[in-house]
């Protein structure tokens, strides 16, 4: 079992490859579709995602795995092929988001805890049969006045470890995602401090709950200035602080770290990742698991219209290629302009 987990985890961070996060819940994809004036019907959601997964240049060369939402893992493409098969035919691995969302944390105003543990063992067995070989669980940690609390950090770390242990029991690699949100006026030092605390709590819980680290992937946030902070750290400082924080807290047994984009611009998300890989030697692979930063340009080019599919696929392929270069530290801003 551990061999299968390790093989999958290593494939998820193969050289120059990263993960496409396409696991927006129905509510979140509705917001994305609203932004381009497309109807959020089940068929449209399927058509949009099928278009991405059929972008063969991006999928075969730059994408190691795709995180799906429950609905998509059960869907068939227009021609009847299961969506998960379209993904595996490109060589990428299908994955599944299994948490059921972040809810108010009792006793901790303004903070959240992620739900979805009840019945998870049975759901994992079904997801394995449907073709999923990795999973994702996202915890949300908010920085604000007097928060995050120790309660929030501990409670979320505990749930992440419960999830991770159940995933591994089902031969599914857990992506553990303790996301420290970038919203707020805090500075980069505060983001560092909170990220370090969240990661320390997480790895302590993963140890306590007997999770096999070599068969996991971490999905961290970058260490950034808050979006409303007056002083915004530049690319080199973000790279330095992020790597310093991760080196302190993430054991070298973890095969790979795939960042979330979290609301950064497409180019910032790429530039930060590339700078880290260019500037530092690290004990783990450092790659991407972007949602918005991989899809935003494609979504806009698509605009909900079938006749725009080719343009949308090339927009997606471009971002996938840029992030692939960033995963080996070879991205340059001039490559964006050339495109």
Binding residues for ligand 13P, per CB under 6 A?
21, 23, 138, 177, 260-262, 290-293
Q: Is 176:219 a contact under the CB 8 Å cutoff? A: yes
3-state class of 265 per DSSP? coil
What's the min distance (Å) between Cβ of 292 and ligand 13P? 3
What's the min distance (Å) between Cβ of 218 and ligand 13P? 13
The DSSP secondary structure of 46-105, one letter per residue, reads: HHHHHHHHT-HHHHHHTEEEEEE-HHHHT-B-TTS-BHHHHHHHTTPEEEEE----EEEP
Alpha carbon of 91 to those of 46, 75, 291: distances in Å? 20, 19, 20
Q: Which residues are catalytic?
A: 177, 219
Alpha carbon of 134 to those of 8, 45, 96, 208, 246: distances in Å? 8, 22, 7, 22, 22
How many whole angstroms separate alpha carbon 313 and alpha carbon 309?
Answer: 6
| In the complex, residue closest to ligand 13P by CB | 291
Q: Residue 256: beta bridge partners?
A: 217, 285
What's the min distance (Å) between Cβ of 204 and ligand 13P? 22
> Which lies closer to ligand 13P via its Cβ, residue 148 or residue 262?
262
> Which lies closer to ligand 13P via its Cβ, residue 146 or residue 266?
266
What's the min distance (Å) between Cβ of 52 and ligand 13P? 14
> Which lies closer to ligand 13P via its Cβ, residue 220 or residue 262?
262
> Which lies closer to ligand 13P via its Cβ, residue 136 or residue 186?
136
Spatial CB neighbours of 118, under 8 Å, sequence gap ≥ 6: none
3-state class of 123 per DSSP? helix
3-state class of 203 per DSSP? helix
> Which lies closer to ligand 13P via its Cβ, residue 16 or residue 178?
178
The DSSP secondary structure of 5-26, one letter per residue, reads: HHHHHHHHT-TT-EEEEE---H
The DSSP secondary structure of 129-145, one letter per residue, reads: HTT--EEEEEEEE--BT
Pairing of strands 102-104, 112-114: antiparallel
What's the min distance (Å) between Cβ of 293 and ligand 13P? 5
> Which lies closer to ligand 13P via its Cβ, residue 125 or residue 263?
263
What's the min distance (Å) between Cβ of 17 and ligand 13P? 16
Tokens found for residue 114: 């992620």
What's the min distance (Å) between Cβ of 337 and ligand 13P? 23
Which region, left, alpha or beta, applies to residue 92 given φ > 0 means left and ψ of -120 to 50 means alpha? Answer: beta
3-state class of 226 per DSSP? coil
147: DSSP letter:
B
> Which lies closer to ligand 13P via its Cβ, residue 259 or residue 284?
259
């Amino acid at each position: 079992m551990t061999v299968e987990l390790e093989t999958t985890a290593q494939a998820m961070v193969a050289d120059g490859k990263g993960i496409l996060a396409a696991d927006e819940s129905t509510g979140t994809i509705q917001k994305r579709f609203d932004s381009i004036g497309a109807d959020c019907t089940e068929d449209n959601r399927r058509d949009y995602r099928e278009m991405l997964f059929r972008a063969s240049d991006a999928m075969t060369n730059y994408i190691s795995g795709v995180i799906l939402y429950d609905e998509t893992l059960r869907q068939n493409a227009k021609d009847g092929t299961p969506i998960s098969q379209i993904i595996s035919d490109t060589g990428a691995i299908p994955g599944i988001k299994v948490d059921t969302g972040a809810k108010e944390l009792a006793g901790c105003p303004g903070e959240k805890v992620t739900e979805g543990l009840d019945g998870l063992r049975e759901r994992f067995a079904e997801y394995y049969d449907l073709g999923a070989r990795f999973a994702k669980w996202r915890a949300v940690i908010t920085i604000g006045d007097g928060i995050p609390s120790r309660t929030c950090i501990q409670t979320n770390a505990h749930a992440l470890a419960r999830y991770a242990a159940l995933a591994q029991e089902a031969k599914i690699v857990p992506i553990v995602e303790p996301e420290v949100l970038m919203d707020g006026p805090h500075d980069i030092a505060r983001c560092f401090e909170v990220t370090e605390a969240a990661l320390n709590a997480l790895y302590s819980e993963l140890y306590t709950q007997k999770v096999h680290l070599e068969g996991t992937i971490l999905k961290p946030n970058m260490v950034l200035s808050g979006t409303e902070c007056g002083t915004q750290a530049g690319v080199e400082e973000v790279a330095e602080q992020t790597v310093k924080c991760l080196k302190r807290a993430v054991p070298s047994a973890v095969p790979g770290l795939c960042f979330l984009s979290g609301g950064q611009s497409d180019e910032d998300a790429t530039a930060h990742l590339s700078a880290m890989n260019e500037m530092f030697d690290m004990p783990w692979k450092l790659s991407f698991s972007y949602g918005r930063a991989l899809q935003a340009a494609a979504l806009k080019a698509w605009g909900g219209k079938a006749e725009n599919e080719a343009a949308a696929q090339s927009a997606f392929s471009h971002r996938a290629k840029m992030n692939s270069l960033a995963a080996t530290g070879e991205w340059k801003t001039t490559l964006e302009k050339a495109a």
